[in-house]
Amino acid sequence: MRERITRKKKRSHRTFLVICEGETERVYIEALKHQYRLPIAIRTKVSGNAINQRLVSQYLKELGLYDKDEYRIFYVYDCDIECIVDRLNKLEGTTILTNPCIELWFLLHLKEHSRACSSESIVKMLSAAHPSWKNYTKGKFSHEQHNQLMSNYQQAIQRADKLEKHANPSSDMPLFIRELDNEKNG
């Protein structure tokens, strides 16, 4: 009589619903989605600061996600709009804030930065940090920029972890990256 081969049931991954502020965040999350090969659903430009639980529930329904064990919700936003931060903190899910803007997270892939500054000055510093970022355009990454973001993320995490949480500058992006790592490695 033949022995039955039992296979380990492959663990299915939870869907990550990521609600982003804008195009730059969407493009970065899309790059992470391809890097990690995880089910990540992305919604961007949620009518300014009008995001609310009803809208989030609508997105979950559109995706067919009803069981809380099936999904995780993340809000990826810049800290430059104070009222949006308060609103996001009241919603179901995890808030991933970067202060002053997502470009700080990109800059941390290239160098240390601990001085308070504006979004405009961060973009200027990013453009000056490495020749491949000289012509940086929001919402687009060159091949070399993409490679730097995907290969230098551990350095960026270490640098971001040294910054005071929710101060200027700071980034919660390491929390999101760790969640992706945990989900991927199960």
Coil, helix or strand for 117? coil
Q: How many residues does the chain have?
A: 186
The answer to whether 157 touches 110, Cβ cutoff 8 Å, is no
- Whether residue 110 is predicted with pLDDT greater than 90 in this model: the reply is yes
Could you read off the pLDDT of 117-139 as tens digits, one per residue? 999 999 999 999 999 999 999 99
Written as six digits, the tokens of 34 are: 């391809």
Query: Which DSSP category does 169 fall into?
Result: S
For the ranges 14-23, 103-112, 130-139, which has the lowest average pLDDT?
14-23
pLDDT at position 47: 54
CB atoms within 10 A of CB 153: 21
- Give the contacts of 182 (CB within 8 A, at least 6 positions apart): none
d(CA 24, CA 30): 10
Could you read off the pLDDT of 37-50 as tens digits, one per residue? 999 998 886 555 67
Could you read off the pLDDT of 53-63 as tens digits, one per residue? 999 999 999 99
Boundaries of every domain in the chain:
15-185
- Lateral strand order in the sheet of 94-99: 40-44, 15-20, 71-78, 94-99, 170-171
d(CA 154, CA 21): 24
Global pTM exceeds 0.85? yes
Residue of 169 and 3 predicted with greater confidence? 169
